Amino acid sequence: MSRGEVLSESILLFWRMMLVAALVVVIALSVGQIFAAKQDIRVSESALLSKGILECLAPEGKINADFDAGKCFALDPKEYFVKAYARSLDSNFNRTSVFGLEAIKTDCDIASKIGLSDFKNAPVCFGQNAYVLIVNGTKIERGTIEIESGINKLKANK
Amino acid sequence: MDKRGEEDLWMILAYVLIILAAATVLIYWISNSANGKIVKDEVAVKQAALLIDSARPGSTIFIDQNVSVSGSNVKSGASEYQFFSKGRVSSRPVSGGTEIIIS
């Protein structure tokens, strides 16, 4: 076999290998998209977080006027966002307590405006309202509380 | 067989072996993906994390899989997920799975 023939055989073999490798990669990527997609549980998680914060701040429907939403759970401030806003219906009293990364809430607002399909890496937020009794010193006032929770955890869910 | 024929034969043999190896790896991976082996650990840790998130202190949860709790993370195989809980969470292996205690 001449040197030129050996070279052409080698080049041919190289491209055959590349073809096999490309085929394997294409099949793996196609199948991977179907079977290896991560389960996104952040919707359930944010609802549970919101419920947990509400139960923590107002255990029997009564909330202290100096509440702190960040003291309920040991949360990672980079992955979670919690905002609790209490407002009295009997006086001008209102208080907001925020914990975590506020950018999560901003991203949730943007995602709800432009649509989640256009913002694939958006965090997930959940909000709920409840009627509570606000214990402000010796006074007990009727009021409402708004809990907003947001979860980023993009790497583990996307 | 002359030298040229011998070289060709070895080349074809090597080529066939490489294709067979690639196909075996691919079929094994597709089979594992299709029967859920790859996502099994991920689903287990996420389900465990959601159960811990929703459990009240004083609860005991039984999961029919091998998971472990380390700090505020549930682990199983290569998968790991962070949970939040007001109580102290620990786990111990029991027959048929894992017991998670929230105290």
d(CA A47, nearest CA chain B) in Å: 10
pLDDT at residue A113, as a whole number:
84
Q: Are residues A49 and A95 in the same domain?
A: yes
Q: Are residues A59 and A125 in the same domain?
A: yes
pLDDT tens by residue, A13-34: 788 888 888 988 888 888 777 7
Q: Are residues A12 and A54 in the same domain?
A: no
Q: Is A48 on the interface with B (CB under 8 A)?
A: yes
Domain residues for the domain of A25 are: 1-37
Q: Are residues A141 and A63 in the same domain?
A: yes
Sign of the C-alpha dihedral computed for residues B41, B44, B47 and B51 taken in this order: negative
Query: pTM for this one?
Result: 0.77
Mean per-residue pLDDT for A26-47? 84
Phi first, then psi, for residue B57 (nearest 5°) are -55, 140
Are A70 and B69 in contact by the 8 Å Cβ rule? The answer is no
pLDDT at residue A86, as a whole number:
96
Q: Are residues A88 and A150 in the same domain?
A: yes
Q: Which of B15, B43, B84 sits opposite A73 (nearest CB)?
A: B84
Q: Residue A55, SS3?
A: helix
Q: Which of A27, A44, A45 sits opposite B26 (nearest CB)?
A: A27
Structural domains in chain A (count): 2
pLDDT tens by residue, B7-43: 778 878 888 888 899 889 888 888 877 777 778 888 8
Does residue A95 carry a pLDDT above 90? yes
Q: Are residues A93 and A50 in the same domain?
A: yes
Distance of CA A132 to the CA centre of its chain: 27
Q: Is A40 on the interface with B (CB under 8 A)?
A: no
Contacts of A27 (CB under 8 A, 6+ apart): B26, B30
pLDDT tens by residue, A138-158: 899 999 999 999 999 988 887
Phi first, then psi, for residue A57 (nearest 5°) are -75, -40
Q: Which of A21-25, A65-69, A113-117, B44-48 has the lowest mean pLDDT?
A: A113-117
Does residue A39 carry a pLDDT above 80? yes
